[in-house]
Structure 1
Amino acid sequence: MAFKKLIQPLKDSLENKGFNEPLPFQKLVLSKIKGGASLFCIAPMGAGKTTSMVLSVIHKLKGRAFEDAPRALIFVKNKQAALQLELEFNAFLRGTDLRVYCAYDELDIDRQRDAIYEGVDIVIATPKRLNKIFFLNGINLNKLQICMVEDAEFLFRDHNLAEVTRTPESIGKCQYVIFSSAYDKRFDRWRDSFMYNAQIVKMN
């Protein structure tokens, strides 16, 4: 998909940054995500996975805040990854009013619950903290449109796979997009449960 098909604020941000054409991997995945497909996006570092994620979410949400419940959820491995991804989003939010919030273990959970309750559009979270907030009735996932995982290799450490697998059990229809440098056979269980007909898009 060409950048010209994105919403205007994204086109303006990309132009200001000097990005005129998507990278080959971005051409492969942006149109598929835009079309609503659930995907495993497999590519090496430097292929443009993170930017693809940011552009896709902002475009899907039309760059506009809406009500209080989050419509996009992105799982990351730790606090550093959450804050770095927040910076990536902030670089493309000009001209939108989307609200991004990070939830990770080091912050006071009551403060996090209150901040999410006040209204957010995009939540970037570590799996364990997201589930703690959810079980405290601190986040409404009923409006979720897209759920993503960044650098999914971390899922196979410290029970993160089980933590993330819990989330689809609590929500209805949703698009799932998993970004990783390799496909792991353990993902087959997701394809048999909540990621029906998910496509694998791979670039070496």
Structure 2
Amino acid sequence: MSLDKLKLSKALHSSMNKLGYNTPTEFQLKVMSRIVGGQSFIGIAPEGSGKTTAYVLGVLMRLKESLDEAPKFLILTPNEDRGAEIVEQFIKISQNKDLHVVMLSTSRSMKDEVDGLFLGTDIVVATPKCAREVYLKLGLNLNRIQTFVIDDAEEIIRLGMQNPVKELARSCGKVQYLTFSTVEDKKLHFMVDEFMPFVQVVEVG
């Protein structure tokens, strides 16, 4: 099955072909139109099923670059190593050197983080704890968030970061929520049901 089924933009289609991605995964086929269409859902799929690539493509399809100090997309990830991988994936797939994506890090001072965000960004990647800390210092503006992504939700739960996730979600208001995990259980729903009530679960084995 070809990438045509994902209905990507010409630029993203070309980029994926250059990177050697010629066939979408089952999970990507199920969720791409939902992401681009602004639907919220919980995506359950095993490692290697293309969850990250799916939401990276979806965000890039929805993105209208504007160099705004208020980001449009917030991606929460369990650790900074994973965050760096996500940023790299965005840059690699977009092939856009001017893509404004920022990863917040505890290794830098709070002032540096806030100053960096004020320079303008479209996409912010961070751990829940780091994003919350910067938000409480009035450095992370959530007023214009369009899509709120929880990556590797099961690992975020294992590390006990559910409360920062819920606090950030409450601060975003009505946006598109995307949660990705390898498992669906009570702990997952305890974290997301408050801001994703009665949401559809999309699952592949």
Query: What's the TM-score, normalizing by structure 2?
Result: 0.91
CA contact (8 A) 2:169 2:195 kept: yes
What residue identity is the alignment partner of 1:34? V
Report the 3-state secondary structure (helix = DSSP H, G, I; strand = E; otherwise coil) of the residue aligned with 2:143: coil
What residue identity is the alignment partner of 2:52? T
Distance 2:193 2:90 in 1: 32
What residue identity is the alignment partner of 1:30? M
Query: What's the TM-score, normalizing by structure 1?
Result: 0.92
What residue identity is the alignment partner of 1:157? R
CA contact (8 A) 1:10 1:92 kept: yes
What residue identity is the alignment partner of 1:55? L
Aligned partner of 1:135 in structure 2 is: 136
2:176 matched to 1:175? yes
Aligned positions, number: 203
Greater alpha carbon shift after TM alignment, 193-202 vs 108-117: 193-202
Aligned partner of 1:107 in structure 2 is: 108
CA contact (8 A) 1:151 1:180 kept: yes
Q: Percent identity?
A: 34
CA contact (8 A) 2:83 2:103 kept: yes
Question: What stretches of structure 1 move > 6 A for 4+ residues in a row?
Answer: none
Distance 1:158 1:144, change over 3 A: same
Shift of 1:96: 7.3
2:74 matched to 1:73? yes
What residue identity is the alignment partner of 2:202? V
The residue correspondences of 1:1-204 to structure 2 (distance < 5 A) are 2=4, 5-62=7-64, 64-95=65-96, 97-189=98-190, 192-204=193-205
Let me know the Cα RMSD of the aligned residues. 1.8
Report the 3-state secondary structure (helix = DSSP H, G, I; strand = E; otherwise coil) of the residue aligned with 2:94: coil
Distance 1:95 1:155, change over 3 A: closer
Distance 1:192 1:49 in 2: 21
Which segments of 5 or more consecutive residues in structure 2 lack a partner in the other structure? none
Greater alpha carbon shift after TM alignment, 91-100 vs 128-137: 91-100
Distance 1:95 1:83, change over 3 A: closer
Shift of 1:202: 0.6
What residue identity is the alignment partner of 1:138? G
